[in-house]
């Protein structure tokens, strides 16, 4: 009798311990699981949470159920195509001795999993308010024999410091072209914060520098969207995380939004294009996630800063 009552409680507690505890961990963790099923090449992320990774890899049926439950209604296709889009452009644009700045790096593993040209330096910026993330990340990488040579980890306090100041202090060379990756951030900001950040990037960007980022449609912030079955799940997850979405731009206004900051739109991949890429990619047929990526509200951009 006691066991019958205790067993579900123990199982529930263990299950909670095996799930991500932050947005940064969740993105890396889900990428790892998607690598397990052949959708991404993300073997590095497992070192950040080895026991959780082992459990989900050893229980493929539970892993698949988790992916379907958490990433339904277009979220899995969005995360996959977003990763493909950014990785593809990074690899095509990078040349020897260029620089990569990852803003809000969290558990991003591109500096370790991408085969970049000789001399490329990575600068990973993360909030100074959460120093434990960078310290834990570096320690775990070292524990598994992954060198962080060529990677500069920089804490930043956005209320007191600018990106240009922090990068200069960290050894960034404004004479060399830089690719800035700003992934999964703009929807938590406002227009002024985005304008300031892009301006700071341009301050230290040599000719031939680019920015990779996304914009969410302003539709995401409407009451109608919150009631939409394709988006209500996101709102529920966001509410639990405590990191509410606060910014979006209507799709027709997105090109003007960027050009007003003196940046050139090189490529704009809308949700329909993301869906097409997802459905045409080998290995995705086993998944029923054929809705528009991220409910049809996320647009991916390659922008030329200078």
Residues 24-60 pLDDT 10s: 777 887 888 888 878 888 778 888 888 887 887 888 8
Select the highest-mean-pLDDT range: 180-184, 186-190, 292-296: 180-184
Greater model confidence, 87 or 6: 87
CA distance 166 to 158: 10
Q: Which two tokens stand for residue 155?
A: 């804490």
In this prediction, residue 134 has a pLDDT band, given cuts at 50, 70 and 90, of confident
Report d(CA 87, CA 170) in Å as an integer: 24
Say if residue 3's pLDDT is above 50: no
pLDDT in tens, 210-238: 999 999 999 888 877 777 776 766 666 66
Those residues whose C-beta lies under 8 Å from the C-beta of residue 76, and which sit 6 or more positions away, are 34, 39, 67, 287, 289
CB 211 within 8 A of CB 180: yes
3-state secondary structure 106-125: CCCCHHHHCCCCCCCEEEEE
pLDDT for residue 7 is more than 60: no
Report residue 82 as tokens. 């977003």
In 56-141, DSSP assigns E strands to 99-103, 121-127
pLDDT at 246 exceeding the cut of 60: yes
pLDDT at site 249: 96
Domains of the chain: 75-304 (3.40.50.150)
What is the model's pTM? 0.88
**C-alpha to C-alpha distance for 189 and 296, rounded to whole angstroms:** 20
Give the three-state DSSP class for 268: strand
Cα-to-chain-centroid distance, residue 187:
12
């Amino acid at each position: 009798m006691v066991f019958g009552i205790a067993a579900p409680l123990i199982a529930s507690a263990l299950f909670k311990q095996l799930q991500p505890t932050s947005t940064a961990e969740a993105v890396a963790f889900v990428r790892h699981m998607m690598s397990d099923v052949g959708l991404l090449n993300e073997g590095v992320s497992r070192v950040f949470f080895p026991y959780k990774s082992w459990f989900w890899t050893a229980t493929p049926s539970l892993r698949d159920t988790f992916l379907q439950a958490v990433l339904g209604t277009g979220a899995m296709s969005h995360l996959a195509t977003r990763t493909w889009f950014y990785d593809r452009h990074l690899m095509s644009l990078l040349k020897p001795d260029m620089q990569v700045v990852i803003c809000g790096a969290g558990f991003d593993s591109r500096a370790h999993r991408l085969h970049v040209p000789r001399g490329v330096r990575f600068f990973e910026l993360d909030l100074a308010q959460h120093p434990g993330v960078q310290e834990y990340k570096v320690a775990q990488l070292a524990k598994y024999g992954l060198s962080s040579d060529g990677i500069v980890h920089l804490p930043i306090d956005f209320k007191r410091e600018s990106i240009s100041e922090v990068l200069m202090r960290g050894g960034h060379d404004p004479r060399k072209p830089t690719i800035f990756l700003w992934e999964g951030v703009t929807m938590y900001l406002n227009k002024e914060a985005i304008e300031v950040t892009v301006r700071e990037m341009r301050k230290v960007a040599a000719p031939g520098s680019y920015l990779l980022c996304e914009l969410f449609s302003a539709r995401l912030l409407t009451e109608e969207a919150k009631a939409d079955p394709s988006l209500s799940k996101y709102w529920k997850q966001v509410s639990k995380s405590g990191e509410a979405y606060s910014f979006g731009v209507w799709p027709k206004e997105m090109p003007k939004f960027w050009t007003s900051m003196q940046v050139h739109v090189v490529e704009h991949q809308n949700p329909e294009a993301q869906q097409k890429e997802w459905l045409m990619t080998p290995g995705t047929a086993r998944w029923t996630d054929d809705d528009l990526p991220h409910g049809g509200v996320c647009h991916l951009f390659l922008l030329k800063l200078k």
